Structure 1
Amino acid sequence: MGSFGFVEVESGAMNTSMEDVMKPIQPFLTYDELLYINSYLLSISIPICIFGIFTNIVNILVFYKMGFSSPTNISLFCLAIADLLTLCFSLVISFGNHPALIRDDLSFSMIDFSRVGAQVYYSSCAIGSWITAVINVERSFCVVFPMKVKQIFTRKTTARLIAGMVIYQIASGLPRSFGVRFAWIPSAVTNRTIISYVIFNPRLVSLSYLVSFSLPNLICFFVVVVGTIFLISKFKQSRQLRSTMSRTGEKSNKMSDKDARLVRSMIFVSALYIYGATPNVLLYVIPAAYPSLHMDNPYLGYLHSLLLLAAIVAQAASCSVNIFVYVRMGSNFKTKATSVTISEVTPWPVGYQYYDILRDSVTSRLPAL
């Protein structure tokens, strides 16, 4: 060894100290940095989820009062239920992974408790993706085949499609229950034995996630993106044609005002879905091209965990703001929304006057198109 601590090697070889050889790999994101970012990220996620739960309860009540006379109302009613379930379990995941609760001396692991809720979260997300794709395809058919769409997408057809999606998600997600179990294991944080979520058949669990969440989301995401681009192009053509006809005094039967409002609303709903689903799609598309990005990687594992929670926050945000699109959809939804009382939304009889003020403010600022 030389005087400067380097190993003497033959000429032309790189000199490397023993300290450099034994130095462990430093992760791209340290555990403390992960907790610091998650504390802010999940603190934002919790109020978003609570707000979204409230707004989706309102959506469910309004669509129920509007009735199920059209396939679109049935689809939007079921979408509100799927979004409500997604937000409920997003709230569970946010509390379970919050750094302020991880080190609590409990008899069970909060992270493992949230992983149980994640099973329902992924299924409800996939159901929401299916329904959004059905709505998008139905609106596209309405533009292409306006005279035949009522025979293709009837109320019974829509109800059967949604029921089939729910049955598929239950059947494809059920095998995950046979690959996991609860066990008493020592905690590395509190140094006591706690109930933890143990995966003893990872291949079965991974396959179930692939079939019940990854593939449906990827297919529906592609369908919604293509359908949204198509609807935007047709909507622009309709506006240009209507503008030309208004100048020449001719009448056009390409798209009625009601259909134009509905298509525009579906474009916004699809755009919100794309915003919320894009992080999840990227999380299982990028690892296919870059396999090192996974949770067990010592260098990128914490980064993968952060991206996973960020995807949950984005999904929660997209599920929470649909009510603003629905209010702008037309006067019917706004009229029914103004008739919803706070006692129908929550069992706690507080804040009636503040709710009325907020409701009137929102509906007055968002007039019908």
Structure 2
Amino acid sequence: MCVFSREEDNTTRYSALDQMTNNPFNLCGENNKNSSMLTLARGFLSDEIFYTILLFITFTLQLINICAIIANSLSIAVFVKLGFSEPSNISLTALAVCDFILAVLLTWNNLCVWLTYHNVRLPFHGNNVSFLTGGVQWTFLSSTVAWITAFISFERCICILFPLKVRRLITPSGTFLAMLIIILLTFCPSFLMYIRYKFMWEFNPYLNMTILNTIPVKSELAILLEKISVVICGVIQPLLAFSIVVICTVLLVVQLRKISSWRLSVTSAKSQRVQAKKTPAASSPATEARISQKEERLVRMVVAIATIYYLL
């Protein structure tokens, strides 16, 4: 076990959590602490209290990640059992797989932060290595999840707008191809970050050992590729996916309300004709109410899912 002085111990422990308040694409000391809202709280709290709160949040997130891993594993198993003859099963399985990987990556990052804070002797720099082996992938995979969510919203919208043509417009092979294209365009650019940063063994005098660390590459091409990939996959693609989800949700809600109104009008006209003929098989107002309530519940569910996505 390595021995730290009190000042060195606090510096090492706090630097582990400083990564949580820095620009996520700044590594190896390229920090910008003023860019985070968390730094505002540090002006009102002592370092010990501030980092204790952050550690509690990290521990809570770790429990949530474990639950997410278990839940998505069960979801994947269920979809595999159901088969992939339905296009929706393919897209939902891809979403569950991406969420599973996101939870694993975030668990890895939180674990490295926790171990570094408690001065566990690691053969690598916890903050930098965990970020380059998990944080970067998590950032780009979040864009993948956003586009899969947008595709699912588009798929549901097509089902409502063109119910008689949906079998021809959305096929299992087409959905599988769409998932493959989304992954290639949103997640694969994350590997460009390995051109901007590279792994390097360096000697750590505090640990008295050689550890694995990451260093930035000063090449202009590498910096340009990093900026392009971050802008496209971190800004443009999520905004486009967000716009698609908004448009599809609005169209879906409007069309569902039109269908509900049309169904009620048809049912009411039929009921009046039947009552005019004094036939006992007339539709009751309770039946119409049940149909309307069902449509309203469906609309509320769609809006709730979209709202959760917007907030996240």
* Structure 2 length-normalised TM: 0.67
The residue matched to 2:121 in structure 1 has which SS?
coil
Amino-acid identity (%): 24
Q: CA, structure 1 residues 42+62, in 2 after alignment: closer, same or farther (shift >3 Å)? A: same
How far the C-alpha of 1:28 sits from its partner, in A, is: 3.1
Contact 1:74 1:158 in 2 (8 A): yes
How far the C-alpha of 1:206 sits from its partner, in A, is: 3.1
Q: CA, structure 1 residues 40+76, in 2 after alignment: closer, same or farther (shift >3 Å)? A: same
Listed as ranges, the gaps of 5+ residues in structure 2 are: 1-32, 272-282
The residue matched to 1:198 in structure 2 has which SS?
strand
Aligned mates of 1:120, 1:186 — CA distance in 2: 27
Please list the CA deviations of residues 283-340 of structure 1 after superposition, one character each: whole Å capped at 9, or x if unmatched. xxxxxxxxxxxxxxxxxxxxxxxxxxxxxxxxxxxxxxxxxxxxxxxxxxxxxxxxxx
Aligned mates of 2:251, 2:129 — CA distance in 1: 42
The residue matched to 1:28 in structure 2 has which SS?
helix
Aligned mates of 2:211, 2:243 — CA distance in 1: 42
Picking from 215, 236, 240, the partner of 1:215 is 236
Listed as ranges, the gaps of 5+ residues in structure 1 are: 1-24, 277-369
The residue matched to 2:90 in structure 1 has which SS?
helix
Which amino acid is the alignment partner of residue 128 of structure 1? V
1:275 is the counterpart of 2:311: yes
Q: Which residue of 2 aligns with 1:142?
A: 159
Aligned mates of 1:206, 1:191 — CA distance in 2: 36
Aligned mates of 1:130, 1:185 — CA distance in 2: 39
How far the C-alpha of 1:198 sits from its partner, in A, is: 1.9
How far the C-alpha of 1:102 sits from its partner, in A, is: 5.7
The residue matched to 2:40 in structure 1 has which SS?
coil
Q: CA, structure 1 residues 97+194, in 2 after alignment: closer, same or farther (shift >3 Å)? A: same
Q: CA, structure 1 residues 135+178, in 2 after alignment: closer, same or farther (shift >3 Å)? A: same
1:117 is the counterpart of 2:134: yes
Structure 1 window deviating more from structure 2 (90-99 vs 265-274): it is: 265-274
Q: CA, structure 1 residues 177+47, in 2 after alignment: closer, same or farther (shift >3 Å)? A: same
Aligned mates of 1:100, 1:170 — CA distance in 2: 28
How far the C-alpha of 1:83 sits from its partner, in A, is: 0.8
Q: CA, structure 1 residues 37+210, in 2 after alignment: closer, same or farther (shift >3 Å)? A: farther
Aligned mates of 1:41, 1:136 — CA distance in 2: 32
Q: Which residue of 1 aligns with 2:100?
A: 84
1:31-180 map, 5 Å = 32=47, 34-98=50-114, 101=117, 103-115=119-131, 116-180=133-197
Aligned mates of 1:211, 1:102 — CA distance in 2: 37
Structure 1 window deviating more from structure 2 (68-77 vs 210-219): it is: 210-219
Which amino acid is the alignment partner of residue 218 of structure 1? L
Aligned mates of 2:268, 2:295 — CA distance in 1: 21
Aligned mates of 2:83, 2:297 — CA distance in 1: 19
1:1-369 map, 5 Å = 28-30=40-42, 32=47, 34-98=50-114, 101=117, 103-115=119-131, 116-185=133-202, 194-200=211-217, 201-243=222-264, 245-246=266-267, 249=270, 267-276=303-312
Q: CA, structure 1 residues 262+29, in 2 after alignment: closer, same or farther (shift >3 Å)? A: closer
Aligned mates of 2:140, 2:192 — CA distance in 1: 13
Aligned mates of 1:260, 1:139 — CA distance in 2: 16
How far the C-alpha of 1:222 sits from its partner, in A, is: 1.7
Aligned mates of 2:153, 2:253 — CA distance in 1: 11
Contact 1:107 1:193 in 2 (8 A): yes
Please list the CA deviations of residues 13-49 of structure 1 after superposition, one character each: whole Å capped at 9, or x if unmatched. xxxxxxxxxxxx9963438265233212111100100
Task: Kindly report the root-mean-square deviation, in angstroms, between the aligned alpha carbons of the 2 structures.
Answer: 3.5
Larger RCO (alpha carbons 8 Å, 6+ apart): 1
The residue matched to 1:98 in structure 2 has which SS?
helix
- How many equivalent residue pairs? 250
